[in-house]
Amino acid sequence: MKVLKSAMCVALIAISTLASPARAGRLETQFEVYLDVVASCSLVSATDVAFGSQVVAPGQQLEAFGSLKVRCNVPVAYQITLDQGLHGTGVNDRRMAGPGGDTIAYQLYSGDSGTTSCNDAAGVQWGNATTGCIYGDSYAGTEQDIQIHGKLTMGNPRAGSYSDTITATITY
């Protein structure tokens, strides 16, 4: 009898399992969709500040203009610093070197554009945070042309070619 009861239980369980609808499970998970947009700015080109060939007299003032072209890929604020050059002792003492060790002092300013301009009206030369003005602006959707304004007052140098090299650095 016990065997028969056991067989009947097994048969009933098998029949009830077959007759019951299968239960579906449900699981959920989540995931993110993201993109990291990276800002990139570059100094595309530079135009020299060329005072040219001049017949000068002591005390004569000269001006010359150059430019930096900046391009950024997305809206971003940036700053541009200029170093002291190869022959000066600081951004407020930039010098072009020439024949016989002679030098000619000059100053560099930005134009009036930008969120922070380093113009000569303020009397602060374009340089760095410690000793001069840092030019600042924001991406405007197109390549930007930033004016470099050079000024000098002639001393009594020897005739010859004078030059210096400035390094511009952009930070964004």
Q: Domain of 124: which CATH number? A: 2.60.40
- 1 — pLDDT class (breaks 50, 70, 90): very low
Determine the distance from the C-alpha atom of residue 74 to the mean position of all C-alpha atoms in its chain, rounded to a whole number. Answer: 11
The whole-number pLDDT of residue 18 equals 53
Q: Is residue 138 part of a domain?
A: yes
Confidence of residue 8 (pLDDT cuts 50, 70, 90): very low
Whole-number pLDDT of residue 142:
87
Name the β-bridge partners of 67: 47, 147
pLDDT band at 19 (very low <50, low <70, confident <90, very high): low
CA atoms within 13 A on the CB side of 170: 22
Q: Which domain holds residue 49?
A: 41-171
pTM for the model stands at 0.78
* Nearest by Cα to 83 from 131, 15, 120: 131
Q: How many domains does the chain have?
A: 1
**Based on the number of CB atoms within 10 Å of its own CB, is 77 exposed (0-12), middle (13-18) or buried (19 or more)?**
middle
